[in-house]
Amino acid sequence: MSDYPHLLSPLTIGSIEVRNRVLVSAHVPGFADNHLPGKRYIAYQCERAAGGVGLQITGGTPVHKSGLLSNNKDSLHNLNDDIVPGYRKLAQAVHAEGGRILAQLAHSGGTTLINEPELESWAPSPVRSEITGGIAHEMSVAEIAEVVDAFGSGAERVAKGELDGVEILAAFGFLPQAFMSPLTNLRKDNYGGSVDNRLRFLLEVLEVVRYGIGPDRILGVRIAGDEFNPKGNSLDDMKVIAQKIDASGLVNYLNVIAYHSIDHTGRAKHWAPTPTPHGVFVELAAAIRSVVNVPVFAVGRITNPDHAECILAAGQADMVGMTRAHISDPNIVAKIKRDAAKEIRPCVGANTCIANRYIGKPIRCMHSPAVATPGTTLIPAKDPRRVVVVGAGPAGLEAARVAAECRHKVTLYEANDETGGQLALWAKAPSMSELGGIVAWRMNELNRLGVDMHFSQRFMKEAAYDLDIDVLVIATGAIAHCEFVGDGSVVVVSPHAVLRGEVSDLQSAIVWSDGRGQAGLAAAEILLHNGVNVEIVTSDIAVAADLDPTNRTAWYQRLGKLKCRLTAPFVVENTKNGTVTLRNVYTEERFERESIDLIVDWRGCRSNDELIKEFDSAVFEIFKIGDCVAPRNVQIAMSEAMSIGIRI
């Protein structure tokens, strides 16, 4: 008997049966070719279908020029019949793997700022977006009818493209939610005011979409179970709305998420990073499910199949979204079917995928560099080579894993007694512990693959020749570097020293966080949890300005609750008798902080490249990867490691 009887059981949605209860919900990977599903996009979706997913949904696809999601050409557009051939190829590829796929049709409704001539955003009312600062054009009744018709035309193209149906995006502040919510709908006509009036637009859209796709294809709606805004729809309000949508008889399921993208935190919380609780929106789905008859989907950091099984077994949902989990590992279903759940590469909530989309780049994964090249497979080497990898940080672990997967004989050396490098240190912060899963998974894989590992052993140049190797991979990472000295009255350490627990007996500390990333923030968090008064100082326009909004919002909330002081744009200028002088980088104003015990100097690392310099030439092949070449980030280190592992 399966350990996942509910998760692996089929589900009938309308007149279509899907093979299991695993959903990869709508998201934009950034792999489209000039707004069309080309080879890379299809390979990405097909990879997840081949892995066993029950149902998957394309990312939000605009149906009208007034509701574009961005200016980029790497997302799908359903504005004319050009998309039909690509839809057809996509459907055929997914169906060939036994999967089912829907198109999510969307209109951004004033949540994005296109800033192009003759391309204004349309919305129900001229409400300012806290995210973009933009105010959309207030739609006339004729323009409402125009957009409704556009949804109908988009649905017809989905049917022509042989996809299995449509999901209407009525969440994220997009146009249907913008009409439904009193937060963004201030109209006085038949499309505003009462619940029925505010719901009118969505019901009109559902009518034309149902007509466009016919009675046999799936039609679902993604809704916010609660907008968590006093001026918006509460859970009780959404229960009433869900019942009315269900009573229309037009839809086959409801997909429940939360929040509204018009305000500062709502958009970031849609895709909450670690340490947000797993299953964060499940209770909302369960509440909606209790008042409707159609199947209800739950989403929100459901990353573990055991957790997914429990949600279904408890009757909280009929299907579970495991989207970021399948970005990290597209073969979750296949692995649990062959009793290999321990081999699943877990999503750790780093949100590298979301961060890349925020800046208009294709998704990447801190944990899985293969995301960038969907369809790539590791091919066993015809002539296995003797490979030595020096350094057990993220880059070294990944290079060793990939080389071992390709059947090379791999030996790993690490000078310390711990693996994971800087990433393992960040994971010591209370809110970052999940990141340790990146290291733990690779260690499990190296053990499974039989890699010979040596710890607390510094690898010397002479050893490379004594071992008679074919390939040397240098992944020695970077080391902490403190530039600030002061007068000696205040202790100066790197964030790594704090993360290792090397400082104690403190009252007040300043974390000078100009090194980007999360090391300085993690050190500050540990100090705060130890009862230290902490001020984070940066010369950037804001603390954590380099982070994506999901991670930055989460950090601001955590640090704020711990009473951390955030100061920008300042640098630490000097110290004198325990007093620290801060200088504004623009105005040159100076302010003093008295009775400071510690300065955490985080302005980046320096490459640990000593071993690289020892090898001017060699009789074996040498590769240099990760931070030992130049300090960057985990994502880049992993990508370089995988590339080298394959090339070997």
Q: Per residue in 522-575, pLDDT tens?
A: 999 999 999 999 999 999 999 999 999 999 999 999 999 999 999 999 999 999
Mean pLDDT, rounded, for 278-285: 98
Examine the pLDDT at 114 and tell me if it is beyond 90. Answer: no
| Amino acid 91: pLDDT | 98
User: CA separation (Å) from 32 to 1, 107, 157, 160?
Assistant: 41, 18, 17, 19
Mean pLDDT, rounded, for 421-438: 97
Q: How far apart are the first and last CA of the chain?
A: 42
Count how many residues are written for the chain.
Answer: 648
Q: Enumerate residues 6+ apart whose C-beta is below 8 A from 283.
A: 316
Q: Are 303 and 22 spatial neighbours (Cβ–Cβ below 8 Å)?
A: no
| Amino acid 2: pLDDT | 81
Examine the pLDDT at 203 and tell me if it is beyond 80. Answer: yes
Distance CA 227, CA 223 (A): 10
Distance CA 427, CA 424 (A): 5
| Amino acid 95: pLDDT | 98
More confident residue, 17 or 272: 17
Q: How confident is residue 246, by pLDDT bands cut at 50, 70 and 90?
A: very high
| Amino acid 516: pLDDT | 87
| pLDDT (tens digit per residue) in 118-170 | 889 999 999 999 989 999 999 999 999 999 999 999 999 999 999 999 999 99
Examine the pLDDT at 412 and tell me if it is beyond 90. Answer: yes
Q: Are 374 and 40 spatial neighbours (Cβ–Cβ below 8 Å)?
A: yes
* Amino acid of residue 5: P
| pLDDT (tens digit per residue) in 52-77 | 999 999 999 999 999 999 889 999 99
| pLDDT (tens digit per residue) in 303-356 | 999 999 999 999 999 999 999 999 999 999 999 999 999 999 999 999 999 999
Distance CA 275, CA 350 (A): 9
| Amino acid 549: pLDDT | 94
| Amino acid 267: pLDDT | 83
Q: What is the DSSP letter of 343?
A: G
Domains of the chain listed by start with CATH number: 20-372 (3.20.20.70), 386-479+623-647 (3.40.50.720), 491-603 (3.50.50.60)
Mean pLDDT, rounded, for 249-265: 95
| Amino acid 103: pLDDT | 98
Q: Are 292 and 251 spatial neighbours (Cβ–Cβ below 8 Å)?
A: no
Q: What is the DSSP letter of 499?
A: H
Examine the pLDDT at 301 and tell me if it is beyond 90. Answer: yes
Examine the pLDDT at 1 and tell me if it is beyond 70. Answer: no
Q: What angle do CA 79, 84, 90 make, to 5 degrees?
A: 120
State whether residue 567 is helix, strand or coil. Answer: strand
Q: pTM for this one?
A: 0.96
| DSSP-derived secondary structure for 139-188 | PPHHHHHHHHHHHHHHHHHHHHTT-SEEEEEE-TT-HHHHHH-TTT----
Count other C-beta atoms under 10 Å from residue 576's C-beta.
Answer: 12
Examine the pLDDT at 616 and tell me if it is beyond 80. Answer: no
